[in-house]
Amino acid sequence: MFNVYFCKMISMNKSNLLKPLNLLYVEDDIDTLTSFSFTLECIVDNLYTATDGQKALDILNKNAIDIIVTDLNMPNMDGIELTTHIRKLNKNLPIVFLTAYSDLEYMLEAIEQRIIKYLIKPITVDKLISVLENIASDIYEYKSVILLANGIKIDLEKNIIIDQNLKKSLTSNELIFLKTLNNNNNSLVSEDTLLLKIWEDEAYARKESLYSLVTKLRKKIGKESILNISKIGYKLN
């Protein structure tokens, strides 16, 4: 009961940018892990935790992680080694280092691994959340992820819809439709533009096909997520 009340208080003072994202927090100190996790669970739908780099890799192999926060000095596999493994698979995944080390050598290694942020302990959870919100804002700005008003997330790189813990795939035409709307900065996109973007060949660009595509897509992401002015065009909500 207390945790529910605590989360409501936290949510009142934070944006919802982090809510749909999957966060992996790696920390070998159990007390710190427990303390920070208590708050982080309130601002993300899915928080994954690990106490060393090897366990973190196991989680990464089984889940779609959006941001990683990791300690530097850990048993079995430290933060630098963990990041080296990650960068072989994903060069753009945002990674934040939390460390007691301010040594230049560690900082240079972190820069080489394209670390987003290098934070020196002790650090408050509010400071960490502020950093995470900035990263989340960048994720959406790069337009690889669409956050809809109803809380559904669309990952255009992975070609999936994420509704809470459920994942749905997109067809190639649905992906083109969503990318076209997303790239037009919330402006109305005409039916004719969408027809030619999706089907290219005018002979196959029929409005009935577009209406059918929209109907099926609305069933996946919610009717209210695709706004339209009849016979004119569409935009995302």
Q: What angle do CA 66, 68, 73 make, to 5 degrees?
A: 170
Instruction: Tell me the sheet residues that pair with 25.
Output: 49, 69
> For 197-235, what is each residue's pLDDT tens digit?
888 766 566 888 899 999 999 999 999 999 988 878 899
What is the pTM (predicted TM-score) of this model? 0.62
Fold of domain 148-236: Arc Repressor Mutant, subunit A (1.10.10)
CATH dotted code for 2-142: 3.40.50.2300
CA nearest 189: which of 161, 210, 212?
210
Model pLDDT, residue 206: 82
CA-CA distance, 59 to 65, in Å (whole number)? 9
Model pLDDT, residue 59: 94
**Residue where the block lists tokens 């303390």:** 35
Under a CB-based contact definition with an 8 Å cutoff, are residues 66 and 36 in contact? no
CA-CA distance, 21 to 119, in Å (whole number)? 21
- Provide the 3-class DSSP secondary structure of residue 123: coil
CA-CA distance, 95 to 135, in Å (whole number)? 10
Query: Domain residue spans in the chain?
Result: 2-142, 148-236
Backbone phi and psi for residue 32, each to the nearest 5 degrees, phi listed first:
-65, -45
User: What is the mean pLDDT for each group of 10 consecutive residues in the chain (237 residues)?
Assistant: 53 64 93 91 89 94 89 87 89 86 66 75 87 83 74 84 84 89 79 85 75 93 89 86
Model pLDDT, residue 179: 85
Model pLDDT, residue 218: 94
Task: Specify the amino acid at residue 157.
Answer: E
